[in-house]
Amino acid sequence: MNKTLRIGIATTIVAFMLAIMPLPDWAVEFRPDWVTLVLIYWAMAVPSRIGVTVAWLAGLLLDVSYGTLMGQHAIGMVIVIYFIHIQHQRLRVASLLQQAIVIFVLLLIKQLLILWVDGMVGRAPDSWLFFMPTITSTLLWPWTYLILRDIRRKFTVSKQFYKSKSI
């Protein structure tokens, strides 16, 4: 396993740990969507490695860890990462504010999809606080981006590692 893959896996594991970490009752609704933020960053940085398959698997792991309907987070993750994968070149040159706006819309779509599925199975939330992870994730995107970019630079993770060696 090369160094680049280890860094990606390590940061995703940290994101999963933050996603399932116990919080006080008042803070549970404000928990950012860490796994999606980390996968968005890696899908922008190394799109040849992070795609819809990784998003699907991460979403299924989130479904298992949260105890939600299987595929609920997975399909939301796939939609978000698919869009990021298609638009990664445009998003990489955008400012952090413009990236945050796009990420807000994508995370809102993901939350609306989760709300729709929860409503279909009779577990719809009764509070507008359901959408707070979208807001907190958007506010934390610049710091997430900067931290992961510094980690990527420190360990020299780049797209060059993933280009096939041809003769």
Kindly give the confidence (pLDDT) of every residue in the chain, 167 residues in length, as a single tens digit, with 9 standing for 90 and above. 677 778 888 999 999 999 999 999 999 899 999 999 999 999 999 888 888 999 999 999 999 999 888 999 999 999 999 999 999 999 999 999 999 999 999 999 999 999 999 889 888 787 888 899 999 999 999 999 999 999 998 887 765 544 444 44
The pTM assigned to this predicted structure is: 0.89
Number of other CB atoms surrounding residue 40 within 10 Å: 30
Whether 165 contacts 17, CB under 8 Å = no
